[in-house]
Chains A and B, each alone.
Chain A
Amino acid sequence: MTEIINDRNIDRRGFVSGCARVLGAVGLGGLASALALRKGRAVDEVWQIEPDRCIACDKCQTHCVLDVSAVKCVQCFALCGYCDVCTGYFPTKYDALDTGAENQLCPTGAITRKFIDRNGPTRYFEYTIDESLCIACGKCVTGCRLMNGSLYLQVRHDRCLNCNECSIAVACPTQAFRRVPASRPNLLGRAAHEAQEALARRGVAAGRVPCLPSARSETAGMSAARSCPRQAWAWHPAGPLRKPGAPAEARQA
């Protein structure tokens, strides 16, 4: 043995450190493969807001590392009442039910109000968010919650930098921010989810909607998402995911 070592010009110290090196390399490789090959776990994750936990404070607007937050307001049309007097659009004191800036709750005028239909004296309007203007202040979300609560905040994944420690998540007072798998990157509140399902059922009955959300089961990952042209379908957080580190009972409560 000594001769072999001498032949290769290695002293004892070199031999020991060589062994340690090989052990270290094997250990690191083992750790990496154990984590990466953990069953069904090696997926990418993105940050998302759980709408039912969100209280629409203005932390999303102010704490994102981007100049204009990656969070935007989203309209769940299936839950929207198409109200004439929309509490998400108009402040509690308005001069007239028109689109004048002084009559809008949104500080940037990001909500467009479009007349759709009337039923006698009742008029129906559709409210759409112009995301290029939305700053995620959440004013319309709190306003809308007086009625149906169809407006909610979501992280926009084309904008989000996917920071390892999301600055908004740190500031979020209700721990509504959490990591979700990138294959199911959006979350819906319970009411919105049910309204969405009801709408889809009606659509299928009328032969309009090409696929049902149930086609995207919990385990159906990207393939189901791709096969469904209405990618808009978001996912209700009743599944097995939870915020990292939060004990299980926190979720059930």
Chain B
Amino acid sequence: MKTFPALLALLLVAVAAEAVCAAGLIPTPEFAGHPIPTAEHPDPVARLPLRDWLDVAAMAGGIALASYFALRRRTRRGLFLLAVVSLVWLGFWRKGCICPIGAIQNVTLALFDRSYAVPAAAVVMFVLPLLATLFFGRTFCAAVCPLGAVQELAAVRPIRVPVWLDHALGLLAYVYLGAAVLFAATGSAFVICRYDPFVGLFRLSAGLNMLILSGALLVLGMFVGRPYCRYLCPYGAILGWLAHLSRRHVRIPPEECIQCRLCEESCPYGAIREPTVTPPAGKLRRGRRRLVVALGLLPVLIAAGAMLGRRLQAPLASVHPTVQLAERLWLESRGLVEGSTEASEAFRNSGRPPESLYAEARTLSHRIGLAGGWLGAWVGLVFGGKLIHLAIRRRRTGYQPDPARCVACGRCFWYCPGEQARRGWIAGIAQKSAATTNEPLGG
């Protein structure tokens, strides 16, 4: 019996995989009464798709309900409660991931890297609010997006941001969108997720920097309504763009505007635009000239942006981990930095020649540089587009929310005397027009 394990060991040497022996490993013994166990691996297959589709269903239901509350029922209370539910479900329970904002990057990466398998749930999550916005305005932002919801709750004492500052800061979101697409397309990073200010709050764990950013944005959000949504959110930039085309979006007076201006102060997001007056002829001419200048400036801005963006190759590329590693290795090999990092140490141990890494980093860097040109052109286009947008004169007969800026929070409903008459809280104001139309809720 004593010779049995020895025999087994011999047998093992004979049949064990070549590499096990070649690498000088200690052979695994074979025991007579003890089979070699195998580690248990928890399986995500049965769990993941169901959970993801549940989220998608929750989001679809949420958008439908938010649209119903904002456009049909016109109830701020309903929207507020829905926002709280979304915050708890998509935010705290599902930890705010994956969300449509982050899904921009998944879709971008899938478009640029054919080997990347984008989850179907991420695509649906990306497209669903966009489609809804085409038809109902930004009701997703109103009460479904957990990031919007947390800021909606934080906005306790909002002040009015000067219009020029509001316009200028609003451009940041487009720049952020362009940068996020660039980094996702080149496989560098998912910056939207990395710098998502509220996901740390949802998970109740974050690094110190993100904690500071999150806290700062929340405190700022008490006085400046929804700072992330208005000035940073890249998805909000796309939604605002699509909301211009929306079939129906929130309007303040249920019928005719009596121009009482009560709603104007109620909007914490500066989204309500006053009625226009026909300017005198001289001003009209100046406005037209401004539009021509803006149109002429557009290609100049795009070209200038592309040239500037091309020069950003080094800082943009340094976000990519491979480029980072190559730079570090190069510096170490030239003796320009002392010591080594875990990454460079591991690379040396891998036995791969540094030249191949340098070549790969150069290719990546070049690609990112080209993408930087596109990013610059995009920023130029955004700036030029803004100038044109500002130069175009619009006609508004009553106080109306700007569909791109309005997140359908429903605060202004309460302030409108027409709305109060519709609900029967006050009498008289809207009776005249109520007699003329049968459907008081027309979008």
Contacts and interface: CB of A to CB of B under 8 A. Distances in A.
Interface string A13-29: 00001101100110011
Interface in A14-68: 17-18, 20-21, 24-25, 28-29, 31-32, 35-36, 38, 41-46, 53, 55, 57, 65-67
Contacts of B188: 245
B190 interface: yes
Given A28-B130, A173-B343, A198-B20, A117 B45 contact: no
Contacts of A241: 115
Contact of B360 (A74, A120, A249): A249
Contact of A21 (B135, B186, B189, B363): B135
A58 to B, nearest CB: 10
Interface stretch (B11-19, B77-85, B216-224): B11-19
Nearest to B124: A32
B404 interface: no
A170 B190 CA distance: 9
B364 A247 contact: yes
A44 B31 contact: no
Nearest to B127: A32
Q: Which of B111, B123, B124, B350 has the most CB of A within 10 A?
A: B123
B115 A242 contact: yes
Contacts of A190: 19
Interface in A73-88: 74-83
Contacts of B47: 157-158
Interface in A203-253: 208, 222, 225, 230-234, 240-247, 249-250, 253
Nearest to A186: B41
A103 interface: no
Contacts of A129: 39
Contacts of B346: 53, 55, 173-174
A24 to B, nearest CB: 5
Interface string B45-57: 1011100100000
A93 B110 CA distance: 51
Main secondary structure of the interface of A (DSSP, over half): loop
Q: Which of B41, B52, B121, B205 has the most CB of A within 10 A?
A: B41
A198 B16 contact: yes
B2 to A, nearest CB: 7
B197 to A, nearest CB: 14
A78 B39 CA distance: 10
A194 to B, nearest CB: 4
Contacts of B107: 31, 35
Contacts of B303: none
Contact of A44 (B6, B121, B342): B121
A193 to B, nearest CB: 9
Interface residues of A, number: 96
B87 interface: no
Contact of B45 (A67, A78, A161, A225): A225
Nearest to B25: A148
Contacts of A196: 38
Contacts of B113: 244-245
Interface string B90-118: 00000101100011011101110101111
Interface string A112-155: 00001101100010101100000000000000000111000010
Given A157-B44, A173-B343, A198 B115 contact: no
B31 A78 contact: no
Contact of A154 (B26, B41, B95): B41
A183 B45 contact: yes
B283 interface: no
Given A17-B245, A67-B205, A246-B187, A170 B194 contact: yes
A109 interface: no
A185 B123 contact: no
Contacts of A80: 28
B299 interface: no
Given A28-B127, A231-B41, A202 B30 contact: yes
Nearest to B51: A162
Interface in B33-77: 34-45, 47-49, 52
Nearest to A41: B117
B352 interface: yes
B117 A156 contact: no
B321 interface: yes
B286 interface: no
A77 B360 contact: no
B118 A42 contact: yes
Nearest to A196: B38
Interface in B305-322: 320-322
Given A244-B116, A247-B360, A124 B190 contact: no
Contacts of A20: 245
B203 interface: yes
B25 A36 contact: no
A103 B350 CA distance: 32
A25 B132 CA distance: 9
Contacts of A157: 41-44, 47-48
B187 A81 contact: no
B394 to A, nearest CB: 11
Contacts of B205: 65-67
Given A174-B343, A244-B187, A249 B42 contact: no
A210 to B, nearest CB: 12
A221 B341 CA distance: 39
A197 B45 contact: no
Given A43-B119, A173-B346, A201-B15, A161 B5 contact: no
B392 to A, nearest CB: 13
Given A55-B349, A232-B38, A245-B109, 16 more contacts: A35-B107, A38-B110, A44-B49, A46-B48, A53-B350, A65-B205, A117-B31, A147-B26, A158-B44, A161-B95, A162-B48, A163-B193, A191-B25, A199-B28, A202-B30, A232-B40
The 7 closest A-B pairs by CB, nearest first: A245-B187, A81-B26, A165-B193, A157-B44, A173-B343, A158-B42, A165-B190
Interface of B: 2, 5-6, 9, 15-20, 23, 25-32, 34-45, 47-49, 52, 95, 97-98, 102-103, 105-107, 109-111, 113, 115-124, 126-127, 130-131, 134-135, 186-190, 193-194, 200, 203, 205-206, 242, 244-247, 320-322, 341-343, 345-347, 349-350, 352, 356-357, 360, 363-364
